[in-house]
Structure 1
């Protein structure tokens, strides 16, 4: 349900101040200590940021897709670690339950997720299965009124803090494709579920990932998402449009932050007796970045509006993810170049953003997967 315009404007204004006054000053600390301060987490809970996309009847804000991307434009203008903490609760960690969960599952988990009391985690990727989700090796064997899970999930966002895992496992042990995959809601602390050490990553310090390991982990049959076997891959596909648009909007926000910082630096930094912003080759980099970020913003907003109108946007959402993830990488590269030596030094934060945004081209579907999705949909539509 869309908010009244004045309510949305107030939310966006409050979030903008929160990002500028509370989060940006903490970016270096979060990167150095690899942790978001607990006080900030509490503030994010109080603002309702963990339940942006969760329906109001379950305690969330119930934002439309257009409203959610506008929020993502704002939260994207600071370290991605802050967005990552709330991201799974608003995206892949909750939307499977919202879309395909039973009413009992929705009432059991969504209010806690909306309040930030439960952190959701989406356990799909494995050591030998990422983009090819149909080749999952984690199994879920039926044993009376329970399923027994065995397997390992890799690079699972927010796993170290998660209270609930949406786990994809093969229930049809004879199948070799996605049709034999089901989704399970597995609570943290379930016997047989354990976590590996936190991953040491290239960037996005403060956003934590690790392996999730299942060794004869018994869960009740009621834990299967939606109460049906063989629907797991379909559920995963259903949440992708929203997830891809959300990430695209975060990329736009990050690009706009980098452009703002680059412009400010170029106007202050002097060479040959004048600000480097006066040099045409620097101006070209600024102009290219501004143009691409604007194009990304327009793409995301238009696709979000069409999704809210009930139109099928799978191809366009993939276009947004492809363009915006690649775009923010180019903007970050130009930002380093504009800053020169300062862009390579940690004090300015530009090199941190350069590393942080690299991940956007990989998760929630790599650039190459987006290309395949777009082209295959084009061919299907033409036929």
Structure 2
């Protein structure tokens, strides 16, 4: 069993690390200053310029099919690159990608939505969560009724990421209540100009999700994504395909925070010696390294199962649960090691502390991951050690 990286994987990882270090990390002080002024993220033109420079490095459409101009990299290689992105808290992502289910678009929809989204001239968001349907996606209530050549949408969506910048949304709505989620949910591509309204939700971290309101929003029948009644499988594909990405980013963030703690522990002196000589500090550093490496291999295993054409959901749930909790543990320990300085805004630790807390909630809470893992084992769909069978 060979755990070494290929030369190509190592080169791509190192190039991504160099780009993040040289081009993205220097933006951190300005980003923190912007956030303290009540502003959020990078200006759109600055983000686009960064993505253009990354494209010159060869980083464009990491997982996008080659037919659409993407690199179509193996998922495991993408995980290595997203770990490098996670080393900075600047909200940067490489260009040339979009919601994976948008590739289900027909030729007309590809021209109007998919290709502009890949080029960055139009932005999308995925809208499935509702006030009473978060972890339980089968409970969504937004209705869509047919009216001639249109569908009329009524209802609410909430905690929609990337919604503030979105030009259009992929919306899951109920088209046949009697069939339920197994055949009564449909996905629609809904332009903002069609009439949905939104408001930003204020959070404890840098995330700016939105609430969306649909009041008799008319959507042409040609804007159905996929087939009528097949919205739930599309929603689950969207969730399953990207769940490994959160813990991949978490690994990069944890690596950088732990490195900061190790350096500080070798410099800060108390009681005549560096704090790194104290056993309680050593225990925090050791526990962090063990959790970090454990999460890393769960993420790589989840990515590997995708590349092997296997169902990745069980491994992805374990990776998401492990990676999100690991990052929270390490952020807390790193702040503790830095003491009062870690709690100030002079260092970025408090900023990470607030951001990583979200990772245990969105795209499947810790509790949902545990539920999925346990149900797979109790039902016999998975067995202990099954991936080595």
TM over 0.5: yes
1:133 aligns with 2:137: yes
Alignment-derived partner of residue 368 in structure 2: 369
Deviations 1:25-77 (A, max 9, x none): 32243242323133233212442466322212112222221111111100011
CA distance, structure 1, for counterparts of residue 78 and residue 328 of structure 2: 23
Alignment-derived partner of residue 183 in structure 1: 187
Q: Does the aligned pair in 1 maintain the 2:47–2:92 contact within 8 Å?
A: no
Greater displacement, 325-334 / 19-28: 19-28
Q: Does the aligned pair in 2 maintain the 1:343–1:351 contact within 8 Å?
A: yes
CA distance, structure 1, for counterparts of residue 253 and residue 66 of structure 2: 29
Deviation, 1:178, is 5.4
Alignment-derived partner of residue 51 in structure 1: 61
Alignment-derived partner of residue 92 in structure 2: 82
Q: Return the structure number with greater relative CO, CA threshold 8 A, min gap 6.
A: 1
Deviation, 1:109, is 2.7
Q: Does the aligned pair in 2 maintain the 1:135–1:178 contact within 8 Å?
A: no
CA distance, structure 2, for counterparts of residue 112 and residue 51 of structure 1: 13
CA distance, structure 2, for counterparts of residue 119 and residue 42 of structure 1: 16
Alignment-derived partner of residue 73 in structure 2: 63
Q: 1:113 to 1:51 in 2, by over 3 A?
A: farther
Q: Does the aligned pair in 2 maintain the 1:58–1:110 contact within 8 Å?
A: no
Aligned length: 369
Deviation, 1:212, is 1.8
The alignment partner of 2:357 has SS state of helix
| Structure 1 unpaired stretches of 5+ | none
The alignment partner of 1:217 has SS state of strand
Deviation, 1:379, is 2.3
Deviation, 1:272, is 1.6
Alignment-derived partner of residue 100 in structure 2: 95
CA RMSD of aligned residues (A): 2.3
CA distance, structure 1, for counterparts of residue 102 and residue 88 of structure 2: 29
Q: 1:177 to 1:307 in 2, by over 3 A?
A: closer
Alignment-derived partner of residue 201 in structure 2: 199
Which one of the candidate residues 149, 162, 165 is aligned to 1:161?
165
The alignment partner of 2:42 has SS state of coil
Deviation, 1:118, is 2.1
Deviation, 1:117, is 2.0
1:354 aligns with 2:353: yes
Q: 1:209 to 1:382 in 2, by over 3 A?
A: closer
CA distance, structure 2, for counterparts of residue 133 and residue 80 of structure 1: 30
Deviation, 1:262, is 1.0
| Structure 2 unpaired stretches of 5+ | 383-389
Q: Does the aligned pair in 2 maintain the 1:50–1:114 contact within 8 Å?
A: no
CA distance, structure 2, for counterparts of residue 71 and residue 17 of structure 1: 11
Deviations 1:61-120 (A, max 9, x none): 22221111111100011116334xx69x84xx521122x333443444332222222222
Q: Does the aligned pair in 2 maintain the 1:50–1:113 contact within 8 Å?
A: no
Q: Does the aligned pair in 2 maintain the 1:315–1:377 contact within 8 Å?
A: yes
TM-score w.r.t. length of structure 2: 0.88
Alignment-derived partner of residue 40 in structure 2: 34
The alignment partner of 2:218 has SS state of strand
